[in-house]
Amino acid sequence: MMIKRLCIIGVGLIGGSLARALKAAGACEEIVGYGRSPEALDEALGLGVIDRAETDLARAVAGAEVVLLGVPVGAVEAVLEQLKPLLEPQTILSDVGSTKGSVVAAARAVFGTLPPRFIPGHPIAGTEQSGVAASFADLYQNRKVILTPGEDADPQALSLVREMWQTAGAEVCEMSVAHHDEVLAATSHLPHMLAFTLVDTLARLEDHDDIFRYAAGGFRDFTRIASSNPRMWHDICLHNRDALLLMLDRFTDELGQLRQSIAAGDGEAVLETFERAKAARDDYGDTHC
Ligand code: NAP
């Protein structure tokens, strides 16, 4: 596969890692990076992640075969608005946003429809770091990328976006927008809410110094993702609100039941919950996590 010119709007962890992977595979003739901050773009250039940096959007996207949005989901609509008069008819557009309903809604708000050459995507890969310095070429190796193309998606655009992610090492699958947002609310967005809330709750306890001093591996495993970018997660939870609220309600109910069992000294019920969870984690954990 060869993309003549790829333009990445927002060269951070996710966009930067894709650029590195495609460069390592020799899959792009030129990668152009666009961003708001010249310092961050200089860093991307210095690291060899991009070949050319542009802070002018028109210059950045001119002649691009593929334009990839690597920005936080809260910025997508404003970026699409700026892009609308600049996109050439043959340009393929894609994104990496963690929520897909909001991205498709943003595209509809700007273009009146989801353009056939806009293939929304979401790599199920990342770390709690952000910024181009944290990007690395292997991020997508053996990871999944979910594409949520519209019904009238252009087959050539879909196949090129699919191939681009496969070249970066990922396994690509397709899903409806609604299903994507439900699945990710459960597997990614809810756990991040729990980690952020747990750490915040403990940090505001009076004796929090001791609590963190004596925290062991389990605490570190469970709370690693609370170091993730707060602004990015602010955007994600507000942009997948409906699906996330359903999961939060479901989880709150279950936690309430566990609390009741503990309060009532109902060891049987407590044990049943833990045994079900352990069996599920042992079954699925190693193959899917
Ligand atoms: P990141 O490292 O912070 O990179 C975001 C990039 O977007 C930066 O280059 C930033 O550059 C640019 N940007 C930020 N706000 C912008 C705005 N308002 N307008 C234009 N550009 C803006 O974040 P990331 O982790 O790569 O995440 C990027 C996207 O990937 C998000 O949509 C996120 O939901 C999705 N995602 C993240 C992960 C993860 O684990 N991190 C996983 C899968 C998907 P400037 O500030 O210099 O403009």
Cα atoms in the 13 Å half-sphere on the side-chain side of 128: 14
12 alpha carbon to ligand 1 midpoint, in Å?
A: 5
Residue 286: pLDDT over 80: no
pTM over 0.85: yes
Say whether 172 sits in a helix, a strand or coil: strand
Residue 285: pLDDT over 80: no
192 alpha carbon to ligand 1 midpoint, in Å?
A: 17
- Of the candidates 69, 11, 5, the one whose C-alpha atom is nearest the C-alpha of residue 35 is 11
- pLDDT at position 207, please? 83
Choose the residue to mutate in 71, 130, 147 for probing ligand 1, maximizing ligand atoms within 8 Å of C-beta.
71
Rounded CA separation 36/190 (Å): 30
Share of the chain above pLDDT 90, in %: 93
Residue 167: pLDDT over 60: yes
Average pLDDT over residues 149-156: 98
Residue 42: pLDDT over 50: yes
Rounded CA separation 150/12 (Å): 26
230 alpha carbon to ligand 1 midpoint, in Å?
A: 12
Q: Which domains does the chain carry?
A: 3-175 (3.40.50.720), 180-283 (1.10.3660.10)
Q: Give the ligand 1 atom nearest the CA of 39.
A: 47
- Of the candidates 45, 13, 10, 14, the one whose C-alpha atom is nearest the C-alpha of residue 30 is 45
Rounded CA separation 288/271 (Å): 25
- pLDDT at position 213, please? 86
Give the model's confidence band at 287: pLDDT under 50 very low, under 70 low, under 90 confident, else very high. low
Which residue would you say has higher pLDDT here, 237 or 284?
237
Q: Give the ligand 1 atom nearest the CA of 229.
A: 3
Contact 110, 81 (CB under 8 A): yes
Q: Give the ligand 1 atom nearest the CA of 236.
A: 34
Which residue would you say has higher pLDDT here, 74 or 208?
74
Q: Give the ligand 1 atom nearest the CA of 235.
A: 34
- pLDDT at position 102, please? 98
Residue range 84-129, pLDDT digits in tens: 999 999 999 999 999 999 999 999 999 999 999 999 999 999 999 9
228 alpha carbon to ligand 1 midpoint, in Å?
A: 12
Torsion over CA: 53, 55, 61, 63 (sign):
negative
Here the tokens at position 119 are 């293939």
Average pLDDT over residues 257-283: 97
Ligand 1: residues within 6 Å at CB? 10-15, 35-37, 40, 70-73, 75, 79, 96-98, 122-123, 126, 130-131, 229, 232, 236
248 alpha carbon to ligand 1 midpoint, in Å?
A: 25
Contact 132, 10 (CB under 8 A): no
Average pLDDT over residues 257-286: 95
Nearest CA to ligand 1 atom 35: 97
- pLDDT at position 289, please? 36
Rounded CA separation 85/64 (Å): 14
| Cα pseudo-dihedral 45, 91, 98, 112, rounded to 10 | 140
Q: List, in sequence order, the alpha helices (H) in the chain.
A: 13-24, 38-46, 57-61, 76-83, 101-111, 155-167, 177-184, 190-203, 208-213, 217-223, 230-239, 241-263, 267-288
Which residue would you say has higher pLDDT here, 64 or 216?
64
Q: Give the ligand 1 atom nearest the CA of 98.
A: 34
231 alpha carbon to ligand 1 midpoint, in Å?
A: 10
Residue 223: pLDDT over 50: yes
Residue 278: pLDDT over 80: yes
Nearest CA to ligand 1 atom 39: 126
Residue 68 CB coordination number (10 Å): 26
Residue 288: pLDDT over 60: no
Say whether 2 sits in a helix, a strand or coil: coil
Rounded CA separation 77/49 (Å): 26
Rounded CA separation 123/136 (Å): 14
